[in-house]
């Protein structure tokens, strides 16, 4: 796998990973001549015959990844054995392997749009992580990102399933996180941003063409409680940012639509209550979709439904209640019909894919 930095230029094998492993305190890249990423091939998306779900749960002291049908049946635990590295630039001599006995964290599994693959972020140490991609049955697990720094986000798939995007730390002590893309067909990595400005609330999403990415950037406060302000930018694989298409959000972003016109944000009401709000393209167009202990929400493929995670009632003040995962429509506000997923109470993350997408 070639690692290509913004602007695109291949790096010598091992150079990027070695510099990251040594924890360089400054940006490890320098500008180069601009070239374009290869055009994404149109890949047909076969219809699924059943909904798919994946969850991350804790089994004793170790995290576990489960794949299953949408109703919770056909539940199988993924075994992390014989994980192979598709990135020849990775510096692996002093890096822990990704196995059932070394993985200390798993988060944000995400089905490809056609349901044929599953991506998940794994960590074998606090400062060592990677994006792992596997077949839908949990086999053929491979490392598809640099592996010597932390992956600081979930994984986003392009509509045709060819590319995955993620935020990778590029400096010491979790400093300078930037947006990266892996081409799963050519085994190449592209760095999309270089500012190192991604924060814990920022989100990103491939646009409908799969050749550009919407992403948020924290700007500051608007003077009101929970009034964080974010700008939405649009970047392409050549690293350029189209500021003429920017917009601003107030709240904590949790999801963006593929066309960039709709955003989901959460806003704190009190210590235990958080509202989920849909923001349309107009400055005043917004709708409250949920009020409770909302943790996050994600668009399902097609952007017509949401997967929303909330905490249940706080019956015990000394423990955190389990997460409840619900499917809900994008319209209808708080009265929209909801379906609660059949998940293990130990599940801390879930992802869902509708059949027919």
DSSP labels for 6-49? SSP-B--TTHHHHHHHTT-SS---------PPPPPPP---PPPS
What's the pLDDT at 23?
32
What's the pLDDT at 11?
31
What's the pLDDT at 225?
61
Kindly give the pairing relationship between strand 188-191 and strand 2-4. Answer: parallel
DSSP designation for 166 = E
Those residues of the chain that have pLDDT short of 50 are 6-45
Strands (E), 138-203: 142-143, 156-157, 163-169, 177-183, 188-191
CA distance 113 to 61: 32
What's the pLDDT at 285?
84
CA distance 302 to 305: 8
Instruction: Provide DSSP, 258-317.
Output: TTSS-EEEEEEEETTEEEEEEE-SSTT-EEEEEEEBEEEEEEPTTSSEEEEEEE-----T
What's the pLDDT at 266?
93
Which one, of 124, 343, 80, 200, lies nearest residue 351 by Cα? 343
Segments making up each domain of the chain, as ranges = 2-25+48-353
What's the pLDDT at 223?
67
CA distance 239 to 224: 34
The b/e string for 254-277 (b: 16+ C-beta within 10 A; e otherwise) is: bbbbbebbbbbbbbeeeeeebbbb
CA distance 65 to 45: 25
What's the pLDDT at 222?
76
What's the pLDDT at 87?
73
Burial, 229: exposed, middle or buried (Cβ in 10 Å; 0-12, 13-18, 19+)? middle
CA distance 340 to 261: 27
Residues 6+ apart with CB under 8 A from 244: none
Does residue 168 sit in helix, strand or coil? Answer: strand
What's the pLDDT at 154?
92
The domain 2-25+48-353 having CATH identifier 3.90.1520.10: the answer here is no
Residues 6+ apart with CB under 8 A from 132: 80, 83, 98, 119, 120, 121, 122, 141, 142, 143, 144
What's the pLDDT at 272?
79
Does residue 172 sit in helix, strand or coil? Answer: helix
Neighbours of 242 (CB within 10 A): 11
CA distance 213 to 267: 24
What's the pLDDT at 1?
53
Residues 6+ apart with CB under 8 A from 12: none
What's the pLDDT at 66?
97
Which one, of 187, 147, 150, 145, lies nearest residue 171 by Cα? 150
DSSP designation for 320 = P
What's the pLDDT at 239?
65
């Amino acid at each position: 796998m070639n690692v290509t930095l913004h602007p695109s230029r291949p790096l010598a094998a091992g150079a990027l990973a070695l510099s990251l492993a040594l924890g360089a305190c400054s940006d490890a890249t320098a500008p180069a001549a601009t070239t374009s990423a290869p055009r994404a091939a149109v890949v047909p998306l076969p219809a699924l015959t059943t909904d798919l779900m994946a969850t991350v749960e804790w089994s004793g002291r170790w995290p576990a990844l489960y794949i299953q049908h949408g109703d919770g049946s056909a539940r199988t635990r993924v075994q992390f054995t014989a994980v192979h590295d598709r990135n020849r630039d990775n510096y692996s001599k002093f890096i822990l392997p990704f196995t059932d006995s070394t993985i200390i964290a798993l988060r944000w599994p995400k089905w490809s749009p056609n349901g044929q693959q599953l991506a998940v972020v794994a960590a074998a140490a606090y400062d060592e992580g990677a994006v792992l991609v596997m077949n839908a049955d949990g086999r053929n697990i491979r490392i598809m990102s640099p592996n010597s720094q932390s992956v600081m986000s979930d994984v986003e798939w392009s509509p045709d399933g060819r590319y995955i995007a993620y935020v990778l730390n590029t400096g010491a002590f979790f400093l300078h996180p930037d947006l990266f893309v892996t081409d799963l067909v050519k085994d190449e990595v592209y760095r999309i941003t270089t500012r190192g400005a991604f924060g814990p609330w920022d989100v990103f999403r491939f646009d409908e063409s799969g050749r550009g990415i919407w992403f948020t950037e924290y700007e500051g406060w608007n003077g009101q409680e929970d009034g964080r302000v974010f700008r939405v930018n649009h970047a392409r694989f050549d690293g350029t940012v189209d500021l003429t298409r920017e917009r601003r959000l107030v709240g904590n972003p949790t999801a963006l639509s593929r066309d960039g016109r709709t955003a989901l944000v959460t806003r704190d009401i009190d210590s235990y209550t958080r509202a989920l709000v849909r923001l349309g393209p107009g400055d005043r167009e917004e709708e409250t979709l949920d009020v409770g202990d909302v943790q996050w929400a994600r668009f399902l493929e097609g952007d017509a439904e949401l997967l929303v995670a909330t905490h249940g009632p706080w019956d015990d003040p000394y423990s955190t209640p389990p997460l409840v995962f619900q499917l809900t429509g994008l319209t209808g506000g708080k009265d929209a019909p909801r379906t609660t997923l059949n998940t293990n109470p130990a599940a801390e993350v879930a992802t869902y894919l509708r059949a027919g997408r």
